Structure 1
Amino acid sequence: MLKWVMLYGFLASIIFIFTSWQIIKSGKQERILFRLMIIITGIFFLGGMVLVLPFIPQPRIENIFLQYLLGIPLAAAGIILRIYPLLYFKKKGTRSDLVKPGKLVTDGPYSIIRHPQYVAGVIFIIGWFLIWGGLYSFYLIPVIAIAIFLQALIEEKYILEVEFGIEYQEYQKKVGMFLPKIRK
């Protein structure tokens, strides 16, 4: 059964990336429905895998330190760090989604990295997998990380650069995508 779950995760990631790329490449990303399809596809495929995979029968890591003393704080930090940018966008009077981005936000958490929500999501996933201790769950982390990286590239090239132009390109030069840039 596990091989089918892993195959589903891999195929879901491919479908998610391909769907996003095709929609944006078609030039129809201006339509709200198409942008919503990108979001829904990601939530359904990748989110479903993250939530279900730890409960599939598999070898377990049984280490209280890893599972609870590391897993719970990581999952909690991931949730908090995922919510904070949403609240920051609201404070700045703009939206955090790609359906209709308002204005480019380059301060706060976005002055450190360009995609703090994605990084927070990966932190949550690592914590979630640690809590449940499913060994095979960890095989999905690189797949999710690659899918997130490709999705961020697609969003930047076909939505954010188009929407914000040179301002976004300057922002890209100053701020790292997922890790802070070392400033000289």
Structure 2
Amino acid sequence: MTGQTMETATVAPANQKRRINTLRVVMAMMLPLIVLTRPGLPLPEIVIELIESTGILLVIGGVLGRFWSILYIGSRKNTMVMQDGPYSMCRHPLYLFSVLSVLGFGFMLGSVLLTFLMTGLIFYVLHDIAGKEERFLRSEFGPAYEAYAARVPRILPRFGQFQTPQAVAFDVTTLRRNFFDALVFLSLIPLGELMEYFKDLQAWPTFPLY
């Protein structure tokens, strides 16, 4: 397994609670648009169903991708420069797959503008958080992380660089903790379906958003 262990801390790791709270605030800001808008594009029913099905698959893919990433990083986060599996394609695959799930949720809502706004905002926030986390990693691992960062993009993947060992050890406790994060993303599927159901019933006033 490719990596380098941590030696002496000089910069504090990023505050993960602050990261989570920031994402909660962003989603709370988007909630009025999610609730009060409806798709504005007059599309055939079969196209709408195809877009919604694609959205569901993206949410599920994002959840599975997060589990895949956790199998590699496990309890080794901030203790080594992981460069295998999803970490060989981008430096923050957990954020990549989180963005993928949000993109899928946007597809389920059916609005192009809302999808791009929500996904773009989440990507911007996670990209900024990733930069803060990397200050710690650069401080801990120096040239090793600099070389890794020069070769591997931050969030958007470079698929041709994929590499992995034949066997990977994983931490059960970390995987179990990630399961609860997965439930949050999986809840986007019933949430999207409920939004569609109540909007079709005209349970509250909504306005079209293309």
Is TM more than 0.5 here?
A: yes
Match in the other structure for 1:65: 50
CA gap 1:136/1:59 in 2 versus in 1, 3 angstroms: farther
Where has structure 1 moved over 6 Å in runs of 4 or more?
Answer: none
1:106-145 alignment runs, 5 A limit: 106-134=83-111, 137-138=114-115, 139-145=117-123
Distance, in Å, in 2 between the alignment partners of 1:46 and 1:83 is 24
1:155-170 alignment runs, 5 A limit: 155-156=133-134, 158-170=135-147
Distance, in Å, in 2 between the alignment partners of 1:129 and 1:162 is 37
1:29 offset after TM fit, Å?
A: 5.9
How many pairs are equivalent?
144
Contact 2:106 2:118 in 1 (8 A): no
Match in the other structure for 2:20: 40
1:137-180 deviation digits (Å, cap 9, x = unpaired): 32222222222222222221x21111211110010122122231
CA gap 1:174/1:135 in 2 versus in 1, 3 angstroms: closer
Contact 1:59 1:134 in 2 (8 A): yes
- Structure 2 unpaired stretches of 5+: 1-9, 162-210
1:79 is aligned to 2:59: no
Distance, in Å, in 2 between the alignment partners of 1:49 and 1:74 is 23
TM-score of the two chains, using structure 1 as the length reference: 0.66
1:179 is aligned to 2:179: no
Greater relative contact order (CA < 8 Å, ≥ 6 in sequence): 2
Contact 1:54 1:134 in 2 (8 A): no
Which segment drifts farther, 140-149 or 106-115?
A: 140-149
Match in the other structure for 2:189: none
Cα RMSD, aligned residues only: 2.7
Aligned-residue identity in percent? 22
1:84-103 alignment runs, 5 A limit: 84-90=68-74, 94-95=76-77, 101-103=78-80
CA gap 1:46/1:154 in 2 versus in 1, 3 angstroms: same
Distance, in Å, in 1 between the alignment partners of 2:160 and 2:73 is 25
| Matched AA of 2:105 | W
1:149 is aligned to 2:127: yes
| Structure with the largest fraction of helix | 1
TM-score of the two chains, using structure 2 as the length reference: 0.59
Other structure's SS at 1:59 match = strand
